[in-house]
Amino acid sequence: MLDDLGAEVAAELGDSAVYQRLDVREPDEWAAAVATCTDRFGGVNVLVNNAAVLDVGAIADTDPDVVRRVVMVNQVGPYLGIQAVIGAMREAGGGSIVNVASIDAIEGSNGVAAYTSSKWGMRGLTKAAAIELGMYAIRVNNVCPGGGSTEMVEPFVAAAMERLKDRTERLPDRPQRPFHRSADLDDIANAILWLATDESSCVSGIDLTVDGAFTAGKVEPGAPFS
């Protein structure tokens, strides 16, 4: 758990922040978090659903309990979060909900079926919630990063490299990134911030990819402007 780190960051931010531990799978903990925000800051205007877990493995080899954990955190968690803030946002006259998905919610990839399917589910939730909550001036959008923090994938990197080092066949070329880099944390945070503020007051139900055109298509080597 990262309780100490969370408390440390909140302390650095001062009176503008408070740390509270939240298991997104538990409705009671969501209710407590909303109550804390209401008591400390007078209400809830913005929710960012960012909690997620990753599993790397073939569909045939993945334990059902692993799938359930991924879905509970990545898909059910945001659902419960949206449920928890509806009342507070209606009372405030509206609000913005930003769901943080992934470019894996735009396309598929081998080895991450549980994660990918949970993020596609988040996209569906975003669309449905945008339609259902629009009457209350509550906007719901999806950010789909291609990059960001490496902490989620680090536990799987060593195992992947171990599997690959004994392979003799040539691996398929990876698609090239038009920007020649992944999105960093500032890129993603700025996209979330834009959707959270009135700068995007008429934007709802969208999938905002932050991936340097990675999911727009592929670069064809040798073609003009490649």
| DSSP character string of 187-217 | HHHHHHHHHHSGGGTT--S-EEEESTTGGG-
Q: Pseudo-torsion of CA 169, 174, 180, 184, nearest 10°?
A: -110
Q: Which two tokens stand for residue 149?
A: 């923090």
Of 19, 79, 115, 136, catalytic: 115
Report the C-alpha gap between 219 and 178 in whole angstroms: 7
- Residue 136 among the catalytic residues: no
Whose tokens are 């969501």? That residue is: 30
Q: Which residues contact 96 (CB under 8 A, 6 or more apart)?
A: 45, 46, 47, 138, 139, 140, 141, 195, 196, 197, 200
Q: In whole angstroms, give the CA distance from residue 140 to residue 114.
A: 24
Q: 25: helix, coil or strand? A: coil
- Residues designated catalytic: 115
